[in-house]
Structure 1
Amino acid sequence: MARRRLPSLNALAAFEASGRLGRMTLAADELAVTHGAISRHVRHLEEVLGIRLFEGPKNALRLTESGQTLLAHLTEGFDRIEAGVRAVVDEEEGALDVSCTGTFSMRWLIPRLHRFQAAHPAIEVRLSASYAPIDFARERYEVAIRLAEHPLPKDAIITELLKEHFGPVLSADLAKRLHLKRVDDLKRAPLLHTITRPDAWVDWAARIGWKNTDLRGTDYEHFYYMLEAATGGLGACIAPWPMVIDDIRAGRLVAPFGFVLSEHAYVAARRPRRNRKAQVFCEWLQQEAENTPTP
């Protein structure tokens, strides 16, 4: 096997931090060394490679084209190294990367997350938004929260959180103006849709046996925008109970015809290897889900 021919890893790390953060002083703080050490490492790397990585005056350095190319590769490489280290370290404290669909995160998880932080102050939950199927092989998160409408990783540890109930919601003022008494009265309401779940109205109508053939309406790019439009009185939308429970309790939305059970559930999936932070977080999620009333 050919021997790797790499410059000093300290020099590569110093340059990567300087380029990523934009200033050598910030790189020095991150790597816990002096500004002079960072500067010497970068100069040494430039000498070894025979190229300039930065240009411009000392107080306003900018990456050269070669520097930009090298930085992109190094940042990706160090990210993968960090992920590999974290993959085999089982710590009781520190950062825990959690992937969650955006609306579920904003409407259910974040309003309750303060209770986890109070109970486990040593664990820092770092949230990222994604609607993509769970892929532990390609992504760095340890826990993923999804509506289980896609196949789940076969070796993942699954915690079921909430069975999905969904139904039409709208503002109290709009419901009053429309004099909603029967489901057929919804024909007078502007209907709101989201492109992330375009068949929600059709699915709900089929489950309750509502014979309305005209379910056209306004499309919104994101679920969150559609819910905000409903809260603002622009129409009625189909929403899952966990997304609107706090709004209904506060009177911002009403659900005049209740909610019906869908075939999906919200789940938390974590990697099969032992990870105490992920296990503690999923146990907390399950407890919060059990404490969430059904509609």
Structure 2
Amino acid sequence: MDLCCRNTREVKRRHAAPLNALRTFEAAARHLSFSTAAQELFVTPAAVSHQIKHLEAYLGTSLFQRSHRSIVLTPEGQALAHTVGDVLRQLDTALDRTMSSPSCELRVTTMESLAAKWLAPRLHRFHRARPDIRVRISTSDAHLDFVREGLDVGIRYGPGGYAGVRYEPLMDASAFPVCAPSLMAESPYPLAHPEDLRHHTLLHDESASGRPGVPSWSDWLEAAGANCVDAHRGPVFASIYLAQEAAIAGHGVAMGIAPLVEEDLRQGRLVRPFGTVSENAYRFWMIRQAGQRAGAAEDAFCAWLSEEAADTLPR
């Protein structure tokens, strides 16, 4: 009798897991809202509630504590949410890879300035070497969920220490002033010495604001011994890219980040009026999914990125 009961329980445990209910639970646990989960899944809140009750009955335990206005996860719900979220993301990734075309596609995310100023001018070399790999680039400064967003490789500018991903240093990001060539000989105030900056507009970007170790105009002017220059005057731009474009247009002098100004220096759109360089606590990092075995295409692209980074102008 005991053996029969035990075998019956084992048979019950072998019943197929309710995948639809698990997906519904994952969305509800992530949002802590049946209504928001319903919007994401394109179903009604009643349907979400029904699926959660079905899963709770299947498991024989409560997953949420419900009140009139809110829901919270029970300890059992918290444990399941963590596991189910990882499993479903891995499943989505596997399905995406299975459905992909024979011509492999890599999804790459990076900041707008690096995409425009460093990656785009080089990408033709990778396409020439690997025409079988299609690279799709999106731009963002945020630290994204690589699995949920369907991303393969990322490049970020920051201090490192990113959670939930593999990351490795790609390039240093030393800083120095850059300007249009015309400002070097502009009369009556040519840029011959750092002190001459007091006669020119300083262009700022928000990336250096309130971030310890990220060079600002104040840091560079102090290192150059040009304390007579007001480090705080001049417009502030939302991105390094915009400040650099303003410098190219001849509207002032920007604090350039080495990899982001390399191509403009090569093409003569920008020049370095002074030799003083400020080191940067931030750098560029190459980021990949954690816990996933990388494919050959991803490995090839990351190896190419490293080669191109090593070939970047001395910083």
Helix, strand or coil for the counterpart of 1:270? strand
- Is residue 302 of structure 2 the alignment partner of residue 268 of structure 1? no
Match of 1:198 among 190, 209, 212: 209
What is the match of residue 183 of structure 2? 174
Q: How many pairs were matched up?
A: 229
Helix, strand or coil for the counterpart of 1:262? coil
Match of 1:146 among 139, 143, 156: 156
What is the match of residue 127 of structure 2? 117
Helix, strand or coil for the counterpart of 1:153? coil
Structural mapping, 1:63-142, within 5 Å: 73=41, 82-86=92-96, 93-136=103-146, 138-142=148-152
Mapped contact 1:159–1:286 kept (Cα < 8 A) = no
Match of 1:254 among 257, 271, 274: 271
Distance 1:97 1:207 in 2: 40
Helix, strand or coil for the counterpart of 2:127? helix
Report deviation, 1:224.
Answer: 2.0
Distance 2:233 2:184 in 1: 19
The one-letter amino acid paired with 1:172 is: P
Report deviation, 1:250.
Answer: 1.6
Mapped contact 2:111–2:156 kept (Cα < 8 A) = yes
Q: 1:3 to 1:107 in 2, by over 3 A?
A: closer
Deviations 1:121-152 (A, max 9, x none): 11111101011125335432111101132532
The one-letter amino acid paired with 1:232 is: A
Deviations 1:148-192 (A, max 9, x none): 325323651x34221112111111112211311211111111011
Q: Give the TM-score normalised by structure 2.
A: 0.63
Mapped contact 2:194–2:224 kept (Cα < 8 A) = no
Structure 2: gaps (5+ residues): 1-14, 22-37, 43-88, 211-215
Match of 2:245 among 205, 228, 237: 228
Q: 1:5 to 1:264 in 2, by over 3 A?
A: closer
Helix, strand or coil for the counterpart of 1:145? strand
Mapped contact 2:218–2:231 kept (Cα < 8 A) = no
Helix, strand or coil for the counterpart of 2:174? strand
Structural mapping, 1:39-78, within 5 Å: 73=41
Q: 1:223 to 1:264 in 2, by over 3 A?
A: closer
Structure 1: gaps (5+ residues): 7-69, 75-79
Q: 1:284 to 1:226 in 2, by over 3 A?
A: same
Deviations 1:24-73 (A, max 9, x none): xxxxxxxxxxxxxxxxxxxxxxxxxxxxxxxxxxxxxxxxxxxxxx9964
Deviations 1:211-259 (A, max 9, x none): 2444221122332222111111100110111111111122111111133
Distance 2:138 2:270 in 1: 27
Distance 1:89 1:274 in 2: 18
What is the match of residue 285 of structure 1? 305
Report deviation, 1:112.
Answer: 0.2
Over aligned residue pairs, what C-alpha RMSD do you find?
Answer: 3.3
Structure 1 residue ranges (4+ consecutive) displaced by more than 6 angstroms after TM superposition: 87-92
Distance 1:236 1:249 in 2: 18
Q: 1:123 to 1:210 in 2, by over 3 A?
A: same
Report deviation, 1:103.
Answer: 0.3
The one-letter amino acid paired with 1:290 is: A
Which entry has the higher C-alpha Rg, 1 or 2? 2
Mapped contact 1:145–1:269 kept (Cα < 8 A) = yes
The one-letter amino acid paired with 1:162 is: M
Over the matched positions of the two proteins, sequence identity in percent amounts to 31
Q: 1:142 to 1:203 in 2, by over 3 A?
A: farther
Q: Give the TM-score normalised by structure 1.
A: 0.67
What is the match of residue 60 of structure 1? none
Report deviation, 1:204.
Answer: 2.6
